[in-house]
A and B are shown apart, each in its own frame.
Chain A
Amino acid sequence: MYSKLSNSRNIEMKKNEVPQDKSNLESANIKEMYYAVDENGEYTTELSTGWDPKTIALDNAIKDIEERTEIAKQKVLNNTTSPIEYYMELHKMDVGILASYVGMWAWRVKRHFKPSVFKKLNKKILQKYADIFEITVEQLKDIHK
């Protein structure tokens, strides 16, 4: 009753069809659990080492963050943003998440991206950011440290 798509497998996810592709799960000794049917059509579980369509999506997401971090780094070096933006990207955060960690409004965090504003930030606020990024204030001020 189902129209077959170009790359459909035989109907129903079978236990022996649970993907065992290579992924970084292995390095952390994790296998994820799938639900699949056995030869009698009974549902059971099977562990999987990974699945390429997902691994590619994950890899791309990481690449995207690396790109964002690199762009932020260049902006810091060109003095068009403060190191806060760089560390934010490095920690896979966005403004909303960072604002939630420092307990400030997002607009205030964004303002701290301005190099001129960043330069005038007091020790207490700098320390707050440094603590969240788990670095020293010196490292916060200079991304090469």
Chain B
Amino acid sequence: MEINFTHKQSAHCENGVVSNLMRFNGFEVSEPMVFGIGSGLLFSYLPFLKVNHAPVVTYRAMPGTIFNRFAKRTGVKIKREKFSTAQKAKARLDENLEKNNPVGLQVGVYNLLYFPEEYRFHFNAHNMVVYGKKEGRYLISDPVMEEVTSLSEKELEKVRFAKGAFAPKGHMYYPIEFPDKLELKKAIVKGIKHTCKDMTAPVPIVGVKAIRKIAKLIRKWPAKKGVKTANHYLGQIVRMQEEIGTGGGGFRYIYGAFLQEASKILENDQLSTMSKEITQIGDLWRDFAVDASRIYKNRSATEDGYNKVADQLATIADKEEAFFKKLKKVV
């Protein structure tokens, strides 16, 4: 069976799944709107976690939180299920498809064969929609892909039961209750306030403080860890920032698009100015990536190079701090 589902590509998987599922249920919400209301923007350094043998930084909220916050703030109710066995997970998925209900799935990327080899890491927080089953293959709407695709039963089971950090355990989710009318105004203000609070939090590993922390670490890495490791770490930061799904500049451009849309809905011109400012900050993140890549491209670098990119991050931290303090007052 095939559910009449419209696939629309998005930058980020979680926003895209939410936006596409909302559209299926009769509500047109853009990807930036989902991201902004769900307070997706963040910067965080996770010192206790290593991925690919390098420290982890993230430019976005924890997996699942964007949809949860979006739903709470707009009055949508989501059902989430995890499963102890693959059989149960498959049965519940099939049941939903029979009922003409497309569902979101959390999956691991490593065994997603339609991704290029170098993108297939053990990353378990990817999201997709299953919207039908034909000739034994599940019909897949992966939001980061231009077109829909399909996976065999075995292939889908593998990605649903990937192991490691954030193991999905068959995690399936879909909205079950909707408001009569989507009230965006209050939701937007809540979303913005939350992001401002997170980004200026007095915690060393969250928000602008975390950016400063990483800047400090970068200065130390070459002497402490050696150039090879320092470059590996630096490369991972850039990858997290510019990974498929970020929309460029560590989600700062998507946030700019959100603020622009929000300025129209709230009839608040100041938000439009703020949109321009975050776009410029996004450009600074891109500049940082360019200069960082010059360092790790040759695997040989002077200490000066590391200090320079660290300076760039310190500047970004200052600008983002001023930005989010101002943004808080604008709404």
Contact = CB atoms under 8 A, between A and B. Distances in A.
Nearest to B232: A64
Query: On chain B, which size bracket covers the interface?
Result: 35 or more
Contacts of B18: none
A50 B200 CA distance: 32
A57 B296 contact: yes
Contacts of B292: 53
A90 interface: no
B115 A53 contact: no
A77 interface: no
Instruction: Name the prevailing secondary structure of the A interface residues.
Output: mixed
Given A47-B146, A60-B231, A11 B280 contact: yes
A28 interface: yes
B232 A32 contact: no
Contacts of A5: 284, 287, 312, 315
B303 interface: no
A33 B279 contact: no
B53 interface: yes
26 contacts: A2-B319, A7-B290, A9-B283, A13-B253, A24-B118, A25-B116, A27-B116, A30-B144, A30-B146, A32-B144, A34-B11, A34-B247, A35-B248, A35-B253, A43-B32, A43-B253, A43-B275, A53-B242, A53-B293, A57-B296, A58-B239, A60-B231, A64-B53, A92-B110, A97-B122, A97-B163
Give me the 10 closest cross-chain CB pairs, A-B, nearest first: A53-B293, A43-B257, A57-B235, A35-B253, A100-B163, A97-B164, A28-B116, A54-B242, A33-B11, A35-B247
